[in-house]
Chains A and B, each alone.
Chain A
Amino acid sequence: MPSFAFNGKTIETDDEGYLQILDNWNKEIAEYLAKEEGITLTEKHWELIEWVRDYFFKFQVAPAIKSLIKEVGKLENLPDKKEANKFIYELFPEGPAKQLAKIAGLPKPTGCV
């Protein structure tokens, strides 16, 4: 199984670098995973990371894109859905479903997505 060393600990991932064990996630690891994706995390990133993690632990799945857009609309006062979507992609250029999930320590979404 692929893995990376972090603070003296071996962190297992799937083939594409998504954490294998949810409990292994912490803020430092998120910073590391973000860096690997070429992203420096700001307060705005953290808001979304924390929200998708809360959603995941409540519902056992990551939120649908429109639910995320709705949340961003509220958080950032962006009622226009296109603007909210653009805002998300500016933070996570490879898309929220995969890149945001990866940095938030969630599994990769499966299916036709």
Chain B
Amino acid sequence: MAKTKAAYKVPILTGEIKIPKVVSGISAYEKMYQGEKDDMVALGFPASLEEGWEIKAVGIFKQLLSHNKALRDYMDICVRCGACTDKCQFFLGTGDSNNMPVGRAELMRKVYRYYFTPAGSLFKGLADAEPFSEEMLKKWFTYYYQCSECRRCSYYCPYGIDTAVITMAAREIMDGIGLGQKYSTVIIHKVFNTGNNIGIPQAALRNTLDDLEEEINEETGKDVKIPMDVEGAEVLLVPPSADFFAMPHMESLKGYAKVFYKAGVSWTVSSYASEAANFGMFIGSYRNTKELNKRIWDEARRLKVKRVVVGECGHAWRAMYNYSNTMNGPFDFLDNKYRQPTHICDFTLGLIKDGVIKVDPSANDDKIITYHDSCNIARGSRIGEIPGGQFTIPRELIKACANNFYELRNGTNKAETYCCGAGGGILTDEVMNVRIAGSMAKMQTIKEVMDNKGVNFLALICAICKTQFAKMYQLYGFDAEMVGGIHQLVSSAIIL
């Protein structure tokens, strides 16, 4: 049975981030549910853990090391300087030394040394090497799923070790021996079956969009449409499916619709490519990432659109922006006067700057706003043409649509942003205490601007961040409606 609220350990917010007392293993009690047979098989993995998994795991590890030069370097080059130790929000929240980025990576490096280095295979423990035992596998399954692949630690690493690559490799090895994570594997399987993470079929999606159109019409008196599966539209909009289902996400979808309406740009969403998110990336599976990504470009071809615009979703943007071209490109069938893909914030801000749409920032005068940079956008990609556009474009858009904006404290935003505490495939309820612990660092900095600046709205451009913060706000004792997307602000400010 699910944990009751009383079992949640919610820290008291003081606005300060303190280094916790270090205790090895203190957060080992919360583990992910294991992937189920049908989902594992659908993703091309063994149904469950079988005899001889150790040999198989070492084989997959060997393959990854030969294909992925970066991974081999990350195994070898760490000098244990300690720069990463206090940079991870999961370490700060749990105090578990296995959640120090170097501690987490060490779980893989020990196995690496044992099987792949002369010193490790000869001197074993003396060379800090360990075989891939059942106990080690348990640690992998625990701690490689207490990492959100946010790469904050990598930002501070003098060698540039990308710890997310290590986490992804660990998950790929575990999937390859039949030990998967239920949350991510269920979701990927659902996209293959229905087009999106939630499992919304075509008729249901249309019904939802009809209800949204009706709501916009009631509120504005304007005949704003949300077209679906329209061949020949100029833009294919691909949002995270949470924008079709949950709050506050749906408010942003209303914002996108109003922008297209006012700009007079023909657009469509797709019931086949109804998901921007790509959980294949979270589990480090190249094959699944590519397959999920392919759906979007196949649909862009089929619908004969000129451009693809991506909604408010952090890792989706990284997966689309960084990997689309090499995985499923080239996109010479699209109109290449546009950036392909275009981020919705870039799209909307461009229209405001060109005077195509007008906004009234006083419409958001009830809000005192701060902004949380999502990890995969801040550290994993760029928005727009200019370096740093992933930082400037969302902020410029907020400031165009609202008068009251305050930054979170330096060192905790932009490239140094703390994760919301649930990215990378850990936005699932069985690890709620890990999520609470992981959110603590960011929540402290938010509390600081709540107290000092009266901030009452947290602006976001990621579906995971929205769900996570809405939940965390409730648990920490704030109103969940103080959390929302940037296009929720656009939705209020746009003059129709």
Are the CB atoms of B245 and A64 closer together than 8 Å?
A: yes
B188-212 residues with Cβ-Cβ distance < 8 A to A are 190, 196-201, 203-204, 207-208, 211-212
State whether A111 and B211 are in contact (beta carbons under 8 Å apart), knowing that A61-B198, A61-B200 are contacts in the complex.
no
Are the CB atoms of A112 and B208 closer together than 8 Å?
A: no
Q: Is there a chain A Cβ closer than 8 Å to B252's Cβ? A: no
Are the CB atoms of A111 and B187 closer together than 8 Å?
A: yes
Q: Is there a chain A Cβ closer than 8 Å to B150's Cβ? A: no
A44-88 residues with Cβ-Cβ distance < 8 A to B are 59-61, 63-67, 70, 81, 85
Interface-facing stretch out of B113-121, B141-149, B236-244: B236-244
Q: How far is the CA of A81 from the CA of B219 in the complex (A)?
A: 11
Partner of A112, one of B182, B186, B250, B464: B464
Q: Which residues of A contact B182 (CB under 8 A)?
A: 15
Residue ID in chain B nearest A66 by CB atoms:
B250
B1-31 residues with Cβ-Cβ distance < 8 A to A are 1-2
Q: Which residues of B contact A23 (CB under 8 A)?
A: none
- A interface residues, tally (CB under 8 Å): 22
B286 to chain A, nearest CB (A): 22
What total count of A-B pairs have CB within 8 Å? 88
Residue ID in chain B nearest A4 by CB atoms:
B1
Chain B 212-254: CB-based contact to A (< 8 A → 1; otherwise 0):
1011000000000000000000000000111011110110000
Q: How far is the CA of A59 from the CA of B198 in the complex (A)?
A: 13
Are the CB atoms of B187 and A110 closer together than 8 Å?
A: yes
Q: Is there a chain A Cβ closer than 8 Å to B430's Cβ? A: yes
State whether A111 and B207 are in contact (beta carbons under 8 Å apart), knowing that A15-B33, A66-B250 are contacts in the complex.
no
- Interface size, B (range): 35 or more
A22 to chain B, nearest CB (A): 14
Are the CB atoms of B250 and A65 closer together than 8 Å?
A: yes
Are the CB atoms of A66 and B197 closer together than 8 Å?
A: no
Q: Which residues of A contact B242 (CB under 8 A)?
A: 111-113
B443 to chain A, nearest CB (A): 19
Q: How far is the CA of A112 from the CA of B187 in the complex (A)?
A: 9
Partner of B246, one of A16, A61, A85, A97: A97
Partner of B463, one of A63, A70, A112: A112
Residue from A63, A64, A98, A109 whose CB has the most chain B CB atoms within 10 Å: A64
Partner of B198, one of A16, A66, A85, A110: A110
State whether A16 and B241 are in contact (beta carbons under 8 Å apart), knowing that A112-B197, A112-B277, A112-B467 are contacts in the complex.
no
26 examples of A-B residue contacts, CB within 8 angstroms: A15-B33, A15-B182, A17-B2, A36-B1, A59-B207, A61-B198, A61-B199, A61-B200, A61-B201, A64-B244, A64-B250, A65-B250, A66-B208, A66-B211, A66-B215, A70-B214, A81-B215, A97-B245, A110-B197, A110-B199, A111-B197, A111-B199, A111-B240, A111-B242, A111-B277, A112-B249
